[in-house]
Amino acid sequence: MAHSIAEIARALGAEAAGDLSLRVVRAAEPAMAGADDLALAMDPRYADGLAKGQARAAMLWPGADWQALGLKAAIFAPRGRLAMAGLSAMMDPGPEISPGLHAMTVIDPTAEIGAGAAIGPFVSIGRGARIGARARIASHVAIAEGAVIGDDALILCGARIGARVRIGHRFICQPGAVIGSDGFSFVTPEKSGVEEIRKTLSQRSEIHEQSWVRIHSLGSVSIGDDVEIGANCTIDRGTIRDTVIGRGTKLDNQVHIGHNVQVGEDTLLCGQVGIAGSSRIGNRVVLAGQVGVNDNIFVGDDVIAGGGTKIFTNAPKGRVLLGYPAVKMETHVEMQKALRRLPRLGSRVAALEAVISPSSAADRPEED
């Protein structure tokens, strides 16, 4: 799908220069760009790459001398990644799903599918489900009874959307995601070891041998507008009310959201993040890869946690966290620095002891 430089610049609201009628078919890295590609060089450090490639047009940093770079046309991007967002949306062909309903689908006659849907093979849609206009649903998707999904949904291969799940408009669901699995909630007839530990930290009375009784999940999952769920994510139903994912929030792959969790708006949960049951995550929070949040915790608005952070206690609004257990990022850095110096600190203390009390120091047994 070819676009002229003028079309692209207009779509991005960006300035352009040179031959605005020149057409490009793909975006490419500068050094690998062919003659019909738009080279992406939004930073001066990519200038060398342009010389190696064949691009006649490029997206450049503001103020770049496009003619000196040997180009015939240029688009100027004051905020490169933002321009990349617009450009990539223009150039993404999207998955191929034929319009209409594929013959090999099993769609309950009471399900309502909006106008303009494209539904691929081996899709099942249950009783009373309602799907908005222009839905694109790839192969092997299952949408259970009573699920409600807004307009312009893109649901990719093998996603599983459970009973009575409610989802807003412009939903994107990557392959293999499970929305509406049962919560992990069990109770023992008598007090369990975990219940004791929560109070005593480590003291346990006599251990009872007992089995777990299941608490069924009667709630479902509610998801706002403009949410994206990553590949192979899992989102559990709530016990009584719904597990909630707020508007504009994005989940990367393999994120796990426990039952009753409430995630706010415009929040990013990166790959393999896990949120245990009943925790609440604020708005505009960013949890980097492999972060864990304990159950029944509150993570305030605008919190940012670095990769692998394990959050055991409430985190106030705006806090920047790192570490296991999570501490302020600057505290973590200071603690790690001190820890690296620790073996040497031990020697310094031993040296002081030798000066102050040479005999007792000599007597001190080796410790471990």
- List residues with catalytic annotation: 259
Which of 49, 126, 132, 168 is close enough to bind a second copy by CB under 8 A? Answer: 126
Token reading at 338: 């001190």
Residue 270 Cβ vs a second copy, minimum distance, rounded to whole Å: 7
Nearer to a second copy, 5 or 288 (CB): 288
Q: What is the DSSP string of 16-64?
A: EEE-TT-EE-EEE-GGG--TTEEEEE-SGGGHHHHHHS--SEEEE-TT-
Nearer to a second copy, 115 or 173 (CB): 173
Q: Is 102 in the site for a second copy (CB under 8 A)?
A: yes
Q: Quick count: other Cβ atoms within 10 Å of Cβ 297?
A: 18
Nearer to a second copy, 67 or 208 (CB): 208
| Segment contacting a second copy by CB under 8 A, of 14-22, 55-63, 65-73, 350-358 | 350-358
Looking only at residues 330 through 349 of this chain, which bind a second copy when binding is defined by CB under 8 A? 330-331, 333-346, 348-349
Which of 3, 56, 136, 160 is close enough to bind a second copy by CB under 8 A? Answer: 160
Helix intervals (H) in 53-136: 80-91
Q: Is 184 in the site for a second copy (CB under 8 A)?
A: yes
Residue 278 Cβ vs a second copy, minimum distance, rounded to whole Å: 12
Nearer to a second copy, 189 or 316 (CB): 189
Q: Is 113 in the site for a second copy (CB under 8 A)?
A: no
- Phi and psi at 182, nearest 5°, equal -70, 145
- The three-state secondary structure class of 195 is helix
Q: Report the candidate in 178, 168, 166, 210 with the shortest Cα–Cα distance to residue 192.
A: 210
Nearest-10 Cα torsion for 96, 153, 239, 266? 110
Which of 85, 296, 316, 358 is close enough to bind a second copy by CB under 8 A? Answer: 85
Distance between CA 99 and CA 39 in Å, rounded? 33
Nearer to a second copy, 65 or 281 (CB): 281
Which of 9, 14, 16, 28 is close enough to bind a second copy by CB under 8 A? Answer: 28
| Segment contacting a second copy by CB under 8 A, of 47-55, 68-76, 110-118, 246-254 | 246-254
Cβ atoms of 29 and 39 closer than 8 Å: yes
Write down how long the chain is. Answer: 368
